Structures are given as C-alpha cells and as structure tokens.
Amino acid sequence: MATRTKKSKNPESTGANIGYEAQLWQMADALRGSMDAAEYKHVVLGLIFLKYISDAFEEQHAKLIAEQASGADPEDPDTHRELTGEDIARIASTYHAWRGEKEAGDYADVPGFCRSALLEEVRKHGHVLTPGRYVGAEAQEDDGEPFDEKMKRLTATLREQQAEAAKLDAAIAANLKELGYGG
C-alpha cells in the first residue's frame, strides 16, 4: 500500500511553486529509469546547458541592474540590444542548419554572426569561448572618408577630449583639496 507523504506547513512549497531547476532534475530522474544510458547523456547535457544558460542570464541580469543603478541606460543600443522575433528566428534557423537538418538549408559561417570552430582551434585559445574570438566582426561598409583624413579627424577629436579631461581632473583635484582631501 502506498504511503501518503506529509504535507509541508510552508504554503510556498507547492508543486506549482517548485523552481525550474528542481523541475528539470525531477524530469531527468523520471527519464533515467526508462531510457538507455547512451540516450540519457543527451538529456543530461541539455539540462546542464539550460542550467548554464540560466546562471549566465541571472549573472548578466544582476550586472544590468547594477549598471542601471549607477546611471547606465539599458536601452542604449550601443551597449544593449533586445532580440527581436526576427533575430531569434535567424539564430534558430542557423542552429538547425549547423546541426545538418535538411529542412533548415545549408549552414554557412557569417562574419560577426556565426562560425563553426573546430575543437583544435578552441583548444588553441585555452577553451575560452568568447564569441568575438571565433566569429570576428561583421564587415563594415566604407563610409567614403579616406583613412588618412579619418585618422586626422579622430586624432584631433581625441586631443580635444584629452584636454577637456585634464581640465576636469584639475577641477576635481582642486575641489578635493578645498575639502581637505588633496595632497
């Protein structure tokens, strides 16, 4: 005869409130009994991947919250980008093509977007998986400004910014000194 489990006095410990991690492991345990070990490893690797992605998301989310608290703008397209449905579809179809699924078409490396790196190359980089290391940068359109002119213009702008920074540093130092913290 089956025994009844004791109900928790904690109202938040219901099946509806169980964390996704606990649910994933419950599913893994349920599958393990009815699945060949060779197949089961794929399930477990998938769960480990989901856990890794979730942890990475939580870490990035915490960073964004901290940046926002210090005045950063999470809507700034130069630093943050929200994926659109079109972006997600492109990523998904590229993944399916990379996996060799016939209906997804042929996979091709796209600079700045995707590249299938060989394990030897990953090993050579000490197993560092920074995407830019492998994917590279998207080709930029030529803006028509000759390189020499652009460098002169950018260097002049840099010098102006450095001069302004020196003035600000001097003002900060003077204010600190006035407050008794200069030296």
DSSP code per residue over 57-106: HHHHHHHHHHHHHTT--TT-TTT--PPPHHHHHHHHHHHHHHTT-GGG--
| Structure confidence at residue 128 (pLDDT) | 85
Question: 151 or 5: whose pLDDT is higher?
Answer: 151
Instruction: Over range 123-131, report the average pLDDT.
Output: 85
pTM here?
Answer: 0.39
| Structure confidence at residue 141 (pLDDT) | 80
Total residue count of the chain as it appears in this document: 183
117 touches 134 (CB < 8 A): yes
Give per-residue pLDDT as tens, 95-113. Answer: 999 989 989 899 999 988 8
Q: Which residues pair with 114 in a beta bridge?
A: 110
Give per-residue pLDDT as tens, 168-183. Answer: 999 999 999 988 887 6
Per-residue pLDDT for 15 more than 80? no
Instruction: Over range 72-83, report the average pLDDT.
Output: 70
Q: State percent of the chain over pLDDT 70.
A: 84
